[in-house]
Amino acid sequence: MNGFSEDILYDCVIVGGGPAGLTAGLYCARAKMNTLLFEKGTLGGQIAITDLVENYPGFPEGISGKELTQRFKAQAERFGLKIHRGEVLKIEKVDKELFIHLRTGQMVRSKTVVLAVGASPRRLGVPGEEEFLNRGVSYCATCDGALFDGVPIAVIGGGDSACQESLFLTRFGSVVYLIHRRDQLRAQKHLQEKVFSNPKIKFIPNKVVERIEGSQAVERLVLRDTKTGELSELNVEGVFIFIGLEPSTGFLKGFVELDERGYIKTDERMRTNVPGVFACGDCRSGATGQVAVAVGEGCIAAIEAEKYLQEEF
Ligand code: NAP
């Protein structure tokens, strides 16, 4: 049974192993709650694909997302958190028990659930994007940047991710075109300053991608000017898309209350509308996309889960 049992009624099941979930896991395990954490992909969530986390307190020089994830994991496991690979397809509540159904057909029972399912990269939705996925189109600079050594790269977006990852991609690309639909970047000012002072980054404002073209792999972008409507071509071999995130909450529809954009609604104590079910991090309505906030929310969710256990069981 992969180290967990269908016969046990767990104290807490955490869904998602990013900063929020791993912190909730650390707190639950340290409170001696019998806790399982399920992650369907790679631990770390969005930071697992972030080259450098510069604004998480305690690391004045910054820390790689990968290393920070390893540290979160090691600390949680030290207190007994059990981490499993597994995709949760459905959760239901019968009386006071929560039933967590996994893709494998297995089911786990728990007294509480912490939803820390995070968010995933938004797609542009233009011709060529799906076709050239992994053949020039990518949503992860740390994973794929090195494939584009010495060739022109485009980054799409104007937020923190687009700017941060453009800077990282200058290690590889002969040039990095930062293509944004407006003339003002949305990113934090210090990132903008770094971007504008980097000679390898060429900012292309007021353009959107009309389509991505090539034969075997990406060869060029067709861009549309957002002011004039004029079309132009730009030769690139790599296209990195950072146009925001979408919550990974599809499987929760009808179980917990979501906002109009699909994020999980909670109160300030991370409680959803279902008693015993909590949510934290990037999947929560009002998420800020900051590791420090995700960590704080994971902590609150775990403390509230423990309180709920004491009151209800
Ligand atoms: P974001 O802040 O939502 O920015 C998305 C960017 O993509 C915006 O500039 C937006 O343009 C553009 N965009 C959206 N849809 C588009 C479309 N269909 N076509 C073209 N452009 C489009 O997303 P993010 O940069 O991925 O960041 C997500 C969250 O993580 C944010 O809260 C961010 O602060 C956080 N984050 C923080 C750090 C850090 O603190 N160092 C690093 C990375 C991410 P407009 O500006 O015109 O809306």
* Tens-place pLDDT, residues 263-286: 999 999 999 999 999 999 999 999
Q: What percent of the chain stands above pLDDT 90?
A: 95
pLDDT of residue 1: 38
The verdict on whether 12 is a catalytic residue reads no
Instruction: Tell me the pLDDT band of 197, cut-offs 50, 70 and 90.
Output: very high
Q: Amino acid identity, residue 24?
A: A
- CA torsion sign for 194, 199, 201, 206 is positive
Annotation says 144 is catalytic: yes
Q: What is the pTM of this model?
A: 0.88
pLDDT in tens, 25-52: 999 999 999 999 999 999 999 999 888 8
> Among candidates 114, 130, 238, which has minimal Cα distance to 176?
238
**CA pair distance 280, 278, nearest whole angstrom:** 7
Residue 280 appears among annotated catalytic residues: no
Cα(283) to centroid(ligand 1), Å: 15
Half-sphere exposure of 2 (CA within 13 A, CB side): 15
Q: Is the pLDDT of residue 179 over 90?
A: yes
Closest protein CA for atom 13 of ligand 1:
243
Q: Provide the pLDDT confidence category of residue 195 given band limits of 50, 70 and 90.
A: very high
Give mean pLDDT, residues 241-262: 97
Nearest to 138 by CA among 236, 249, 248, 35: 236
Q: Tell me the domains of the chain and their CATH numbers.
A: 9-121+245-312 (3.50.50.60), 137-241 (3.50.50.60)
Contact present, 65 and 49 (Cβ < 8 Å): yes
Calculate what percentage of the chain has a pLDDT beyond 70.
99
Q: Give the residue, by CA position, lying nearest to ligand 1 atom 14.
A: 243
Q: Over the chain, what is the mean pLDDT?
A: 96
pLDDT digits (tens, 9 = 90+) for 107-149: 999 999 999 999 999 999 999 999 999 999 999 999 899 999 9
Q: How are the residues of the chain apportioned to helix, strand and coil, as percentages rounded to the nearest 5?
A: 25, 30, 40
* Closest listed residue to residue 50, CA positions, set 134, 186, 163, 213: 163
Residue type present at position 155: V
Whether 237 and 215 have beta carbons less than 8 Å apart is answered as no
The pLDDT of residue 2? 52
Q: What is the DSSP letter of 122?
A: P
Q: How far away, in angstroms, is 157 Cα from ligand 1 center?
A: 6
Average pLDDT (8-15) is: 98
Rounded Cα distance between 16 and 115, Å, is 7
Whole-number pLDDT of residue 200: 98
Q: How many Å from the N-terminal Cα to the C-terminal Cα in the chain?
A: 26
Predicted confidence (pLDDT) per residue in 83-111, tens digit? 999 999 999 999 999 999 999 999 999 99
